[in-house]
Amino acid sequence: MQNELSIVIKGADIFQREQLVLTNVNLEILKNEFVYIVGRVGSGKSSLIKTLNAEIPLYKGNISVLGYAIESIKNKEIPMLRRRLGVVFQDFKLLTDRNVYNNLVFVLSATGWTDKAAMDARVNETLEAVGMPGVKYKMPHQLSGGEQQRIVIARAMLNNPEIILADEPTGNLDPDTSVEILNLFKKIHSEGKTVVMATHDKLLIDRFPARTFICENNMVAEVKTENELLNFRDLL
């Protein structure tokens, strides 16, 4: 049986505002793969992640994400796509005026949940899954950076997404905490999720090797040989 594809990109040009950052992107990501998108800061990897999430429009080429055609997706379809994606940001984007529990309930309410008991159970379940069961009533500022990122991952997992898109999820964290967060992503991947992670953290990639694409000179290419991997490390 042919492996199922989660993401297919063909001949895509990726823009950040008016600037072309990646051209003629072609790649395929299988269901339940763990994939790195790597490159220097400003190389286009974050813009690629945002295009997959329909946050940045696609004007040229074709992208299919879980069967949704990003180049022609209708506004009413975008929320349906995003319910099947979990997005993890570098800068957390937690709501600072409410505690952890209400941050997570806010997302559930916004995505159609109405049963309070079911929402409470789902919040408890996701906090347990990321190793943070005791922080429900803490405010974001009372948590360390690593703890906040765990809450962000819990938020991304609330609707049991099929794909996790992580945009520099360890960019603001120290090396030891970054390893903890990568271990958590590996656990999520082992449970059947597709994980696509944009990063420029070469230490993590050395420690947790996986299929890797590099953004360089406005192009995206898969890293296939040891020499390419060495050249990639020199770029970062």
- Render pLDDT for 171-216 as a digit per residue (tens, 0 to 9): 888 999 999 999 999 999 999 999 999 998 888 888 899 999 999 9
Does a structural domain hold residue 92? no
pLDDT band at 89 (very low <50, low <70, confident <90, very high): confident
- Mean pLDDT value across the chain: 91
Query: Based on the domain organization, do 30 and 73 belong to the same domain?
Result: yes
- Say whether both 180 and 226 belong to one domain: yes
Contacts 24+ apart (CB under 8 A), 184-191: 184/130, 184/131, 184/150, 184/153, 185/34, 185/153, 186/34, 188/153, 188/157, 188/164, 189/32, 189/34
Asked if 20 and 116 sit in the same domain, the reply is no
Residue 131 within any structural domain of the chain: yes
Its domain, for residue 140, covers 98-160
The Cα 12–Cα 178 span in angstroms is 31
pLDDT at 112 over 80: yes
Of 160, 181, 196, which residue is a domain's last? 160
Enumerate the H helices of 58-166 as residue ranges. Answer: 78-83, 100-110, 116-129, 145-157
Q: Is the pTM of the predicted complex or chain greater than 0.85?
A: yes
Q: Total structural domains in the chain? A: 2
> Is 113 within a domain?
yes
Considering 135, 160, 185, which residue would you say is the last residue of a domain?
Answer: 160
| In a shared domain, residues 23 and 73 | yes
Cα(127)–Cα(135) distance, integer angstroms? 8
Residues 207 and 115 placed together within one structural domain of the fold:
no
* pLDDT for res 40: 87
Does residue 219 lie in a domain region? yes
pLDDT of residue 1: 37
Strand order, beta sheet including 34-38: 85-88, 163-167, 194-199, 34-38, 211-216, 219-222
Q: Please give the average per-residue pLDDT across 28-54, as a whole number.
A: 94
Residues 148 and 177 in one domain: no
Q: Does residue 236 have a pLDDT over 60?
A: no
pLDDT at 231: 64
Residue at 91 is within a domain: no
Q: State whether residue 231 is helix, strand or coil.
A: helix
